[in-house]
Amino acid sequence: MNQSRLDSQPEVRPATPDDHVGIDRVIRDAFGAEDPSEGGKVATLWPDVHASGHVLAESVVVRDGRVVGHVGVSRCWIDARRSLVDAAVLSPLSTAPDYQGQGIGTALVAAAVAAAGTLGGPALFLEGSPAFYGSRGFVRSSKHGLEAPSPRAPDAAFQVVLFDAFEEWMRGRVVYPEVWWRHDAVGLRDPDLAFLEDLFARTFPPID
């Protein structure tokens, strides 16, 4: 484990309106580390999720006056047979490239789970690496009869944390607000989709 992770626990606090320029920057830097257009895509999505009124919680890590970590939690629904159920989705999660590997992402995930847990909803979903999130409390959603909002979200990548409010009947497809579709930010598209499906088929085989 990285020594600096052992030295201090990152301090996570709720975001304020003054953080928004720094949040935009850290999202661009984190997601654009390899592909600047990808960073720009996620950074333009997040203000639109705000504008759509769906943000439920947002936390940051600040070092020397700079936002170096950010996580957003926003609204989604479970399309259950009995009714449409309010739930939450964790995205995006960003750590500035020069601060990665120090436990900031882990602390932000824990803060997002804690924040979502106080909302009274049954579940917090996300699309992401099973290696990263699987060791941080998330399990494959399909295991609980909760379907991804698109078949383009690989089964192993669509994950969930369930809260006490979850009841057995709350099963069905997860629905994301329109803003995610407007930004084409649901699931993946080829060639990334084909690459990850192949990787997951070898690393995270399907559950019976």
Among 59, 74, 94, 159, binds ligand COA (CB under 6 A): 94
Q: Which of residues 10-49 bind ligand COA (CB under 6 A)?
A: 30-31
| 103 forms part of the interface with ligand COA (CB under 6 A) | yes
| 105 forms part of the interface with ligand COA (CB under 6 A) | yes
- The amino acid at 121: G
- Smallest separation (angstroms) from ligand COA to the CB of 134: 10
| 101 forms part of the interface with ligand COA (CB under 6 A) | yes
Using a 10 angstrom Cβ sphere, with 0-12 exposed, 13-18 middle and 19 or more buried, the burial of residue 204 is middle
Q: What is the CA radius of gyration of the chain?
A: 17
Identify the bridge partners of residue 62 per DSSP, sorted by sequence position. 67
Nearer to ligand COA among residue 12 and residue 78 (C-beta): 12
Whose CA is closest to 89, among 158, 20, 143, 190?
A: 158
Among 20, 55, 80, 129, binds ligand COA (CB under 6 A): 129
Nearer to ligand COA among residue 131 and residue 194 (C-beta): 131
Q: Give the binding range for ligand COA (CB under 6 A) out of 112-120, 128-136, 171-179, 197-205.
A: 128-136
Whose CA is closest to 174, among 112, 48, 88, 99?
A: 88
| 100 forms part of the interface with ligand COA (CB under 6 A) | yes
| 141 forms part of the interface with ligand COA (CB under 6 A) | no
Pairing between β-strand 172-175 and β-strand 66-80 as defined by DSSP bridges: antiparallel
Report the alpha-carbon angle 172-146-156, nearest 5: 145
| 95 forms part of the interface with ligand COA (CB under 6 A) | yes
Among 51, 84, 131, 207, binds ligand COA (CB under 6 A): 131
Please report the DSSP string for 68-137 in residue order. Answer: EEEEEEEEEEEEESS-EEEEEEEEEEEE-GGGTTSSHHHHHHHHHHHHHHTTT-SEEEEES-HHHHHTTT
Whose CA is closest to 69, among 46, 37, 103?
A: 103
Nearer to ligand COA among residue 56 and residue 90 (C-beta): 90
- Smallest separation (angstroms) from ligand COA to the CB of 42: 8
List residues binding ligand COA (CB under 6 A).
30-31, 93-95, 100-106, 128-129, 131-132
